[in-house]
């Protein structure tokens, strides 16, 4: 019951996530799935999670504790983002094991989670990783400049058509919102509000953050414009040979 997308373009990174964790007919719950970690002048990270909520909460708590206590193994204990991804993968594996114990009330329950981690360490350029339940990770690349977790299939077509490495950061953010909006329209388990974060290369802090609710004017405008433009695009497509001359003239 999640959809998160991370986008890496030349100008920086975009992170977008829904907040629905339960979607039964009489029990709709909301919980933040996008987590920020800022260390002024040193590094900045954003983490998004899909999967077991208890595992995610334990993972985030441990990451914050390790950083606050300045442990050697922490978000600020490494010089490169791939090393941070490896560290987060180790914490994820351990958190899954701890969550799946009788004392946590989850014996036998699937405690796996999948993560998207992105950010920048020092002068290294920003990067984006997907971290799997086994702790291994893959990086976004110029050929695959976006990563998705959760209910990814509904929002993928717009990303495939629009996102390239040279896409402007703000355009990438709009595309992420449309990707989420398309998923909400097709899948009840993904829902508003959306969390949106932009990280511009070199800033070493969150450049922009926003929460879009159903009654947010900006979201309503994006949602309405996208629907209308799609209808107009379909209406403007070439006519079939069997259609009347009147239809051809109107096109």
Contact 137, 86 (CB under 8 A): yes
The pair phi, psi for residue 244, each rounded to 5°, is -70, 165
Cα(203)–Cα(164) distance, rounded to whole angstroms? Answer: 21
Beta bridge partners of 189: none
Cα-Cα-Cα-Cα dihedral sign, residues 126, 130, 135, 137 = negative
Cα-Cα-Cα-Cα dihedral sign, residues 136, 144, 188, 117 = positive
Predicted local confidence at residue 107, as pLDDT: 60
**How do residues 14-34 score in pLDDT, each as one tens digit?**
999 999 987 555 566 889 999
Helix (H, G, I), strand (E, B) or coil at 86: helix
Mean pLDDT estimate for the chain: 93
The contacts of residue 134 (CB under 8 Å, 6+ apart) are 89, 93
Note every long-range contact of 137-144, with CB atoms under 8 Å and residues 24 or more positions apart, other chains counting: 137/82, 137/85, 137/86, 137/89, 139/82, 139/85, 140/6, 140/8
Share of the chain above pLDDT 70, in %: 92
**How do residues 77-119 score in pLDDT, each as one tens digit?**
999 999 999 999 999 999 999 887 666 555 668 999 999 999 9
pTM to 2 decimal places: 0.93
Fold held by 3-214:
3.60.20
Predicted local confidence at residue 100, as pLDDT: 78
236 secondary structure, DSSP code: T
Beta bridge partners of 185: none
Contact 39, 120 (CB under 8 A): no
Share of the chain above pLDDT 90, in %: 87
Predicted confidence (pLDDT) at residue 248 exceeds the cutoff of 60: no
Contact 33, 17 (CB under 8 A): yes
Q: What are the sequence ranges of the domains in the chain?
A: 3-214, 215-251
Predicted confidence (pLDDT) at residue 133 exceeds the cutoff of 60: yes
């Amino acid at each position: 019951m999640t959809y998160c997308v991370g986008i890496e373009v030349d100008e920086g990174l975009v992170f977008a996530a829904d907040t629905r964790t339960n979607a039964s007919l009489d029990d709709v719950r909301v919980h933040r799935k996008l987590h920020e970690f800022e260390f002024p002048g040193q590094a900045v990270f954003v983490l998004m999670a899909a999967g077991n909520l208890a595992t995610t909460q334990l993972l985030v708590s441990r990451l914050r504790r390790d950083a606050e206590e300045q442990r050697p193994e922490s978000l600020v204990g490494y010089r490169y983002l791939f090393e941070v991804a490896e560290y987060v993968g180790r914490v994820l594996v351990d958190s899954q094991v701890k969550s799946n114990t009788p004392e946590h009330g989850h014996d036998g329950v699937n405690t796996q989670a999948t993560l998207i981690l992105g950010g920048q360490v020092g002068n290294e350029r920003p990067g984006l990783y997907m971290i799997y339940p086994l702790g291994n990770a893959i990086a976004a690349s110029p050929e695959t400049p976006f990563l998705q977790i959760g209910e990814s299939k509904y929002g993928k077509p717009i990303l495939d058509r629009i996102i390239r490495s040279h896409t402007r950061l703000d355009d990438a953010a709009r595309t992420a919102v449309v990707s989420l909006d398309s998923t909400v329209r097709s899948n009840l388990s993904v829902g508003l509000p959306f969390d949106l974060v932009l990280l511009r290369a070199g800033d070493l802090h969150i450049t922009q953050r926003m929460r879009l609710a159903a009654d947010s004017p900006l979201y309503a405008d994006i949602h309405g414009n996208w629907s209308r433009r799609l209808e107009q695009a379909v209406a403007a497509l070439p006519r079939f040979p069997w259609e009347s001359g009147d239809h051809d003239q109107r096109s």
